[in-house]
Amino acid sequence: MKRISRKRSSKRIQKVTCSSCGKNYETKGRRKCSDGLLRCRTCRNKRQRRSFVEKHGVSQYEKYQKENPHYRKRTREWVLKSRYRLDPAEYESLLKNQGDVCAICRGKQFIGHSFCVDHNHETGEVRGLLCHKCNRALGAFQESTEVVERALHYLRG
- What residues pair up with 14 in beta bridges, in sequence order? 27
Task: Map out the domains of the chain with their CATH numbers.
Answer: 44-84 (no CATH), 100-156 (3.40.1800.10)
Residue 10 confidence (pLDDT): 58
Tell whether the torsion through CA atoms of 23, 28, 33 and 38 is positive or negative.
positive
pLDDT in single tens digits along all 157 residues of the chain? 565 655 555 567 788 888 889 998 888 776 677 777 888 888 988 998 888 888 888 888 788 878 887 887 888 899 999 999 999 999 999 999 999 999 999 999 877 678 999 998 888 899 999 999 999 998 899 888 899 999 999 999 8
Compute the distance between CA of residue 98 and CA of residue 129 in angstroms, rounded to an integer: 8
- What residues pair up with 126 in beta bridges, in sequence order? 119
pTM (whole model) above 0.85: no
